[in-house]
């Protein structure tokens, strides 16, 4: 079991933050290790918010990896960039990112397991290896996939502080009058249909603020063919939310 001794400069630091740096993991993954009693402080289980003192002995054991139920599948991938740490995949419309109820296979993860073998980050667990962020089934676009935990942690931190930009082009029904604007609303599970998301303003229900900045690229008035008007927009995501 790997162990570390807290140095003078570590005194007062939170245990989870200390271990995240030593193990090159996210704090949430370290907290999970602590909650499952895979971490010892001076030989005893400890709370995740414990603070260190100089000379404290910290031990951490990672449990054996879960058996992966997801099978590699030889599904063609449109890879636009790849190196030893990550790859960028152009996900087509209609492909689900990771297995879930109703989509047990044929996903991007199945294809990645065939392409990469064991070379994927394990931070997100056995169902979503290497997946740092996701886009919906019916959305096409570029996805960054981490090949190791160090790359995954770095990319997750960049997403958290908005140090890189996620941009979508979206065609919406109707004519958007403003040239640009911001859509900001709390998004949560629909109160009666759990498969849908909705704007939730009831403070008693769980919701997370979703913020998207948009600008109009082109307007298409009502045509003779389809009878509907549309607006082509460019959307900058400040917060990525299921919606």
Rounded CA gap, 24 and 33, in Å? 13
Q: What are phi and psi of 171, to 5 degrees?
A: -100, 125
Distance between start and end Cα atoms, the chain: 42
Task: Specify whether the CB–CB gap between 98 and 109 falls below 8 A.
Answer: yes
- Residue owning tokens 């009878």: 227
Length of the chain: 243
Catalytic residue among 78, 136, 138, 202: 136
Task: Specify whether the CB–CB gap between 86 and 131 falls below 8 A.
Answer: no
136 annotated active-site = yes
Catalytic residues: 136
């Amino acid at each position: 079991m790997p162990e570390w001794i807290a140095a003078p400069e570590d005194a007062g630091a939170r245990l989870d933050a200390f271990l995240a740096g030593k193990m090159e993991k996210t704090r949430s993954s370290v907290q999970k290790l602590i909650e499952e009693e895979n971490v010892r402080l001076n030989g005893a289980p400890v709370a995740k918010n414990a603070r260190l003192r100089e000379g404290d002995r910290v031990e951490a054991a990672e449990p054996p990896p879960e058996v992966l139920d997801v099978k590699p599948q030889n599904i063609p991938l449109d890879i636009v960039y790849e190196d030893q740490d990550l790859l960028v995949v152009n996900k087509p419309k209609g492909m689900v990112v990771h297995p879930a109820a109703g989509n047990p296979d044929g996903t991007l993860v199945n294809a990645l397991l065939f392409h990469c073998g064991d070379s994927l980050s394990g931070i997100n667990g056995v169902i979503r290896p290497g997946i740092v962020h996701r886009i919906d089934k019916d959305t096409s676009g570029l996805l960054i996939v981490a090949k190791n935990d160090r790359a995954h942690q770095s990319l997750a931190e960049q997403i958290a502080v908005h140090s890189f930009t996620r941009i979508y082009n979206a065609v919406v029904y109707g004519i958007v009058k403003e040239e640009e604007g911001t859509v900001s609303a709390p998004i949560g599970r629909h109160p009666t249909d759990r498969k849908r998301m909705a704007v939730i303003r009831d403070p008693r229900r769980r919701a997370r603020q979703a913020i998207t900045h948009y600008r109009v690229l082109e307007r298409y008035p009502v045509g003779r063919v389809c009878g509907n008007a549309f607006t082509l927009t460019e959307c900058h995501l400040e917060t990525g939310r299921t919606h």
